[in-house]
Amino acid sequence: MRTLINLGGAGINHRLKRLTESLSGDILKTYRELIPGIEPALFPVLFSLHLNGESSVQEISTSIGISHPAAVQFLKKLESKNLIHSSPDIIDQRKRIVSLTKDGEKLIKEIKPIQEDIESAVLNLQDETGINLSSELEKIESALRKNSFQSRIKLAYKERAIKEVEILSYNKGYKDIFRDLNYEWLNKYFEAEPEDEKILNDPEKEIIKKGGQIFFARINGKIVGTCAAIKKDKTTYELAKMAVTEKAKGRQAGKKLALAIIGFSWSKKAKYITLETSSKLSAAVNLYKSLGFVTVPGTESTKYKRKVFNMVLEL
């Protein structure tokens, strides 16, 4: 246990699992000792009917937060013990309406005192620890409904990963890397066209000397991606030739490269950044949208045969 404590937040899943298993295990033992012959997992369905009255299967599943098939299985078990009764809906014969039988109501009366005992035990634990379990759980559940724990982990990962990406500006020693990364990307998604080859074979002439810049992303000493800012006119740059190697997928190299292009364009007092992309590049499109780029309707490239559309960011 000491190891899990020392792990801090990283060990929370293991500690919560043990805590849940301990609490639920003790509650299940209590129910099974005092009310033998019926599985405690069925109790929430009974109390849904007790509190809400006759209900449809869908209403029951929604009420206690289980799937429709799971609710059907629970209801079959309860009906086999004569604890509930179901019948076709008068208005919609495809639906079934469920209600408690006299035996079901009687069982509810047996369960309630035990639930009061459980509530007393919870209050006792709260007094001892100074923690209102129900209140704190509701806060956590509410927060996780708005933003899942997985999404919070992903956000933390992205924030860490982007800090590990170094951005380098172009020098002649990177010419082949710029070309090779772009050919790797083109061969995966499209094919190299004359306009690609013109830029990739002489980036200094086509980009640098015309007032643009090429950036590279480096992680752990290895260049994994590149992107160019191509000057279109005094107020506009194009974000182009974005290519990140497959091995660096998800490590935020593309985002940091795009931010470098935005920063460079802003420093040159540009008003717009344009780009051409494809609907088949969903990850890239989502990245551009997250940075504020918007689609320009009805635009098609005159430079490439491949099907692309334009996006623009106003600075």
Question: Do 210 and 263 sit in the same domain of this protein?
Answer: yes
Last residue of a domain, one of 111, 146, 181: 146
Asked if residue 21 belongs to a domain, the reply is no
Query: What phi and psi, each to the nearest 5 degrees, are found at residue 308?
Result: -135, 170
Contact 277, 309 (CB under 8 A): yes
Question: Do 207 and 99 sit in the same domain of this protein?
Answer: no
Question: Do 141 and 175 sit in the same domain of this protein?
Answer: no
Could you give the CA distance from residue 237 to residue 261 in angstroms, rounded to a whole number? 9
pLDDT score, position 88: 81
Asked if residue 47 belongs to a domain, the reply is yes
Contact 105, 47 (CB under 8 A): no
Last residue of a domain, one of 146, 174, 209: 146
Asked if residue 2 belongs to a domain, the reply is no
Q: Return the C-alpha torsion angle 4, 5, 7, 8, nearest 10.
A: 130
pLDDT score, position 31: 87
pLDDT tens sequence for the chain (315 residues):
566 456 566 667 887 888 888 888 999 899 889 888 888 898 999 999 999 998 888 999 999 999 999 989 998 999 999 998 988 877 666 778 899 999 999 999 999 999 999 999 989 989 999 988 888 888 998 999 999 989 998 899 889 999 999 999 999 999 999 999 999 999 888 888 888 899 999 999 999 999 999 999 999 999 999 999 999 999 999 999 999 998 898 899 999 999 999 999 999 999 999 999 988 899 999 999 999 999 988 766 667 788 889 999 999
Enumerate the β-bridge partners of residue 230: 238
Question: Do 74 and 169 sit in the same domain of this protein?
Answer: no
Question: Do 84 and 198 sit in the same domain of this protein?
Answer: no
Question: Do 174 and 309 sit in the same domain of this protein?
Answer: yes
For the chain, the domain total comes to 2
For residue 191, what is the domain's CATH number?
3.40.630.30
Question: Do 237 and 132 sit in the same domain of this protein?
Answer: no
pLDDT score, position 184: 92
Domain that includes residue 113, residue range: 35-146
Question: Do 140 and 182 sit in the same domain of this protein?
Answer: no
Asked if residue 158 belongs to a domain, the reply is no
Question: Do 278 and 173 sit in the same domain of this protein?
Answer: yes
Question: Do 114 and 170 sit in the same domain of this protein?
Answer: no
Asked if residue 56 belongs to a domain, the reply is yes
Among residues 97, 1, 117, which one has the least CA distance to residue 52? 97
pLDDT score, position 251: 92
pLDDT score, position 17: 85
The model carries a pTM of: 0.69
Asked if residue 111 belongs to a domain, the reply is yes
Question: Do 174 and 229 sit in the same domain of this protein?
Answer: yes
pLDDT score, position 4: 47
Asked if residue 222 belongs to a domain, the reply is yes
Question: Do 101 and 186 sit in the same domain of this protein?
Answer: no
For residue 41, what is the domain's CATH number?
1.10.10.10
Residues 6+ apart with CB under 8 A from 59: 52
Asked if residue 247 belongs to a domain, the reply is yes
- Helix-, strand-, coil-residue percentages of the chain, each rounded to 5: 60, 20, 25
Residues 6+ apart with CB under 8 A from 4: 11, 14, 15
Last residue of a domain, one of 116, 146, 176: 146
